[in-house]
Structure 1
């Protein structure tokens, strides 16, 4: 199987970077993306990768943070029947240090029914959601890296026209890196080049 081309992408004006496949295109070229987010998508597979910078949630425990954010995301998207598939323990990211304080990383994987854009409940797709929370406590920031991978596309979803309705074929069959791998690669290559982004 051909290796999929992955490149280091500069985020937030070059202050951060991560490596992931070229097929994920910058959504800010297509639509408005909020300033605290960077969003990339492969429209042919309806897969997306979102990076979000949020104020640190001091009242959420480190070991529970990824699951907390995953549940929060489900509420925000009016997702139905969310289920947690797995969660990691707390890992330190020694390469991601500010003033010798390493970031704390947790991750969670869930599956939920989500409607696209402004579509209603009758057009929900079954989507696997991979979420990592990188807690940069010294600069008061929770970084979220979220990957969305559709498992089943509803015939009424607007995604059906580009991806096709029904069970989505695994990425490997098309010679693509599966979103679980894209997610791991993105998280493991996350770098901060300029801490001033966080007003540090």
Structure 2
């Protein structure tokens, strides 16, 4: 257990671990999640954290890999037009600040997408913080995504909840701690 209600949690059956922020609910306890994904949602906000183990995209240069995965996510979110998806910045992460030393490179992307929830017509504006760890020796890209809604449409199923009084949302700092604490414990997870 860390400070502020955060805790180191095993991921993928203990093959990886990371510090998960306070008020996190493991969505796999509520519904089926793909084997290559871990998904956590804030108990009182619409924020979520995902960890995806993806096939290494060897055709994409390291400097463009985070953008590639962001655009792939935008396609899944039906937000692939310039009006609905925008990269704000991409920056390399220094390995000296990371627990996952097995990566050949790592990047942090910040962007926004206008997405609907549950295939609704209403679109919500979501800040996307995306961390990418490239592990070519395991043919894997590890993608960490923090979805942080900043504007909820009044027509969205997420509208009107108003949240729980005194609820503390996750911050970019919480995501940074999540990224920096990711650790590989068992490389067999990559097959």
1:103 corresponding residue in structure 2: 104
Pairwise CA RMSD of aligned residues? 2.0
Count of aligned positions: 184
**TM-score normalized with structure 2 length:** 0.88
1:87 corresponding residue in structure 2: 90
Q: Describe the shift of the 1:163–1:74 C-alpha distance in structure 2 as closer, same or farther (beyond 3 A).
A: farther
Q: CA deviation at 1:174?
A: 4.3
2:151 corresponding residue in structure 1: 152
Q: CA deviation at 1:44?
A: 1.7
**Counterpart contact for 1:7–1:21, Cα < 8 Å:** yes
The separation in 1 between residues aligned to 2:100 and 2:92, in whole angstroms, is: 17
Gap regions ≥5 residues in structure 2 = none
Q: Describe the shift of the 1:139–1:131 C-alpha distance in structure 2 as closer, same or farther (beyond 3 A).
A: same
Q: CA deviation at 1:37?
A: 0.4
**Counterpart contact for 1:4–1:175, Cα < 8 Å:** no
Structure 1 or 2: more strand by fraction: 1
The separation in 2 between residues aligned to 1:68 and 1:33, in whole angstroms, is: 23
Report whether the alignment pairs 1:181 with 2:185: no
1:125 corresponding residue in structure 2: 124
The separation in 1 between residues aligned to 2:93 and 2:176, in whole angstroms, is: 15
1:148-173 Cα distance to aligned partner (Å, 9 max, x none): 00001111111114346xxxxxxxx9
The separation in 2 between residues aligned to 1:45 and 1:191, in whole angstroms, is: 27
SS at match of 1:156: coil
**TM-score normalized with structure 1 length:** 0.84
SS at match of 1:133: strand
Report whether the alignment pairs 1:14 with 2:18: no
SS at match of 1:162: coil
Q: Which of these residues, 171, 175, 190, is aligned with residue 182 of structure 2?
A: 190
Q: Describe the shift of the 1:90–1:188 C-alpha distance in structure 2 as closer, same or farther (beyond 3 A).
A: closer
